Amino acid sequence: MPTAAGIAKGTLYVVGTPIGNLRDISLRALEILSAVDCIAAEHVQHAQKLLAGHMLSASHTRILPLHQHNEGSAAYKIIEWLEQGKAIALISDAGTPGVSDPGALLVQQVRARNLPVVPVPGANAALCALSASGLIAPHFFFYGFLPTKSGERQRKLAGLKTLYACILIFYEAPHRILECVTDMLAVFGTGREITFARELTKLFETIHTCPLGEALDWLQADENRQRGEFVLLLAPLEAPQQEEISPQAMQTLATLQRELPLKQAVQLAAEITGESRKKLYARALLEQKTKKLI
Ligand code: SAM
C-alpha cells in the first residue's frame, strides 16, 4: 500500500542516478530516495554526496553498503528488512544499478522471494552515448567491459565479428583505452568506424567518430583525450550477401543436424535436396557462429 510519498512498504526500488551531471535525476527518484527507510548504495560516501547535492538529509535514512564483495550478505539483510515491511532503494555510483554495476544479484534474490521490485529509470552511459552517436542500425549489442588481457580481449572481439547490422557498445577504463583500441584495430581492420563518447554529461564531454585506422592518432594527439570515462561504439557492418538456399534444403539440413555431425548432415542434405554442398556448409557455419553469440 503506497504511503503519502508514493512509497510502497516492503518494496525494493531500483533507482537510476546521474553519470556525471548531478541534475540528471528524475523527480520520482528524488522523492523515493527521500522517503525510503534504507538506501543500499555501492559507496556510502557517494550516496551521501548525491543526497546532499539535492538537499536531501541522509541523517534519517540508513545507508547500507552493497558492492561486488558483499552483495550476497547485504542481500540477505535487505530481504529480511523487506519482509518486515521496510521500503528500500538500490543505487550504484553512477547510472543504472545492475548494468556493469552491482545490484543484479540482489534483484534476482528479492524477486525469487516474490517480493516487489520497482524500477525507477534514470541515466545509463551506454544509452546516453548511443542516443548522441548518430549511428543507425536495427540492433545494438551492449557488451560492457571487455577482458583486461589483450589475448582474451581479441578473442572476445573476434567472436563479435559476425554480429552484422548491429552497433557494438563497450565500456572501457582510461588506462586501457589505447590497448583496447589497438586490439579493435587488429580484429576489425582500419575501415570500421568507432565513436568515442567520453565524459558524458560532464565538463569535458567529447563525442568523436573516425575510422578505426585513425583512432590511435586521434587519441594520441592530445593526452586529455585518453582521460576520463569512455563508452566505445563500433558502427554496424553490412552482412555479406547470402547465397540463395531453398527453404526445403535449409529445413532438411536443420533436421539432419539434430542427429548427425555437421559434415555428415551437410553431405546428406545436399544429396537429398540437390542443393550445393559448399553453400549449405557455409550457411551452417555462419548460423552456428551467430547462435554462439546470441
Ligand atoms: N551502471 C552504469 C551505467 O548505467 O551506465 C555503468 C557503471 S560502469 C562501473 C562504469 C563505466 O561506465 C565507465 O568505466 C565508463 O565506461 C561508463 N561510464 C560511466 N559514466 C560515464 C560517462 N559520464 N561518460 C562516459 N562513460 C561513462
C-alpha of residue 125 to centroid of ligand 1, in Å: 5
C-alpha of residue 213 to centroid of ligand 1, in Å: 25
Q: How far apart are CA 63 and CA 45, in angstroms?
A: 9
Q: How far apart are CA 225 and CA 268, in angstroms?
A: 56
What is residue 57's predicted lDDT score, i.e. its pLDDT?
Answer: 74
pLDDT tens digit sequence for 87-114: 999 999 999 999 999 999 999 999 999 9
What is residue 108's predicted lDDT score, i.e. its pLDDT?
Answer: 98
Atom of ligand 1 minimally distant from the CA of 199: 24
C-alpha of residue 147 to centroid of ligand 1, in Å: 16
CATH architecture label of 131-234: 2-Layer Sandwich (3.30)
CB within 8 Å of 99: residues ≥ 6 apart: 124, 126, 144
pTM attached to this predicted model:
0.85
Q: How far apart are CA 143 and CA 156, in angstroms?
A: 10
Measured from CB, residues less than 6 Å from any atom of ligand 1 are 19-20, 92, 94-96, 99-101, 124-126, 171-173, 197-202, 229-231
C-alpha of residue 30 to centroid of ligand 1, in Å: 21
C-alpha of residue 105 to centroid of ligand 1, in Å: 19
Going by the DSSP 8-state scheme, the letter that residue 238 receives in this structure is P
Rounded alpha-carbon distances, angstroms, from residue 15 to 10, 100, 106, 210: 16, 15, 13, 35
The tens-digit pLDDT sequence of the chain (294 residues) is 445 458 999 999 999 999 999 999 999 999 999 999 999 999 999 999 999 999 887 666 799 999 999 999 999 999 999 999 999 999 999 999 999 999 999 999 999 999 999 999 999 999 999 999 999 999 999 999 999 999 999 999 999 999 999 999 999 999 999 999 999 999 999 999 999 999 999 999 999 999 999 999 999 999 999 999 999 999 999 887 777 888 888 889 999 999 999 999 999 999 999 888 888 888 888 777 666 554
Residue corresponding to grid cell 583496447? 180
Can you name the CATH fold of 12-123? Cobalt-precorrin-4 Transmethylase; domain 1 (3.40.1010)
Q: Which of 43, 128, 231, 232 to mutate to test the pocket of ligand 1 (most atoms within 8 A of CB)?
A: 231
Atom of ligand 1 minimally distant from the CA of 125: 5
Start-to-end CA span in the chain (Å): 40
